[in-house]
Amino acid sequence: MKPYRILLTDDHSLLREAIKKSIEGVPGLKVIGEARDGVDLMRLLSRTTPDLIILDISMPNLPGLDAAKIIKARNPDIKILILTMHKSGEFLRRALAVGIEGYLLKENALADLVTAIETIRRGGNYISSLLGGKILREGIGLRLSGEVLSPREIEILKLVAQGKSSKEIADSLSLSIMTVYNHRVNIKNKLNLKKNAELVRYAIEKGYI
């Protein structure tokens, strides 16, 4: 099995080194590059395509959420794990709106980092356990809210709602049929829906078609 390729982006070199050490101690995970800010990250992405980017919010030159928005617009299949000191619901809400797959606080990064990565690698979403109370109080969440889809998932949902088959969607988006199938499963799981008719109704209610 090929390694799961990860890019680290944080302006603190000591933290990057600690994170890198934790990741590379796990079989199947590989750090393929490090960036000190968003601009540096964009340069790296012009030369390589990772499976996952670990991204700080507060960075010089190009802030993390701005970088995440650009990355998701260019390549929605790249997963993003936010690693931050920000606990506020506003930052979490903004990150989710961009379509990130995980939100981890730095204070428990080394304890939960590998769990977060493996959850995202399997197609799930991860929010720091330290934010559980905030999620319940403010109704914020990824899978927990049941209504936050990534840009790619919304794209596929629109095509499903138009009656397109998995093969037609795969051909249209230049994806493999298995990738489309996995996206469809993730969409149903996130929305807690079982049938295609329910997906169509949801797409209509949200104005996707």
Task: List the Cα angle 11/12/18 in 5-degree steps.
Answer: 130
Which pLDDT score is estimated for 142? 40
In the chain, CATH 3.40.50.2300 covers 4-138
Rg (CA), the chain: 17
Q: What is the torsional sign of CA 144, 147, 151, 153?
A: positive
Contacts of 26-33 with CB under 8 Å at 24 or more apart are 26/114, 26/117, 28/1, 28/3, 28/4, 29/3, 29/4, 29/114, 29/117, 30/3, 30/4, 30/5, 30/6, 31/6, 31/7, 32/5, 32/6, 32/7, 33/7, 33/8
Which pLDDT score is estimated for 60? 81
In the chain, CATH 1.10.10.10 covers 151-205
Q: Within 10 Å of residue 132's Cβ, how many Cβ atoms?
A: 12
Q: Per residue in 145-194, pLDDT tens?
A: 444 677 788 889 888 888 888 999 999 999 898 889 888 888 887 777 87
Q: Per residue in 88-138, pLDDT tens?
A: 777 888 888 888 888 899 888 878 899 889 888 988 788 886 775 454 345
Please give the CATH architecture assigned to the domain spanning 4-138: 3-Layer(aba) Sandwich (3.40)
**b/e per residue 32-57 (b: at least 16 CB within 10 A):** ebbbbbbebbbebbeeeebbbbbbbb
pLDDT category of residue 1 using cuts at 50, 70 and 90: confident
Q: What CATH number should be reported for the domain whose range is 151-205?
A: 1.10.10.10
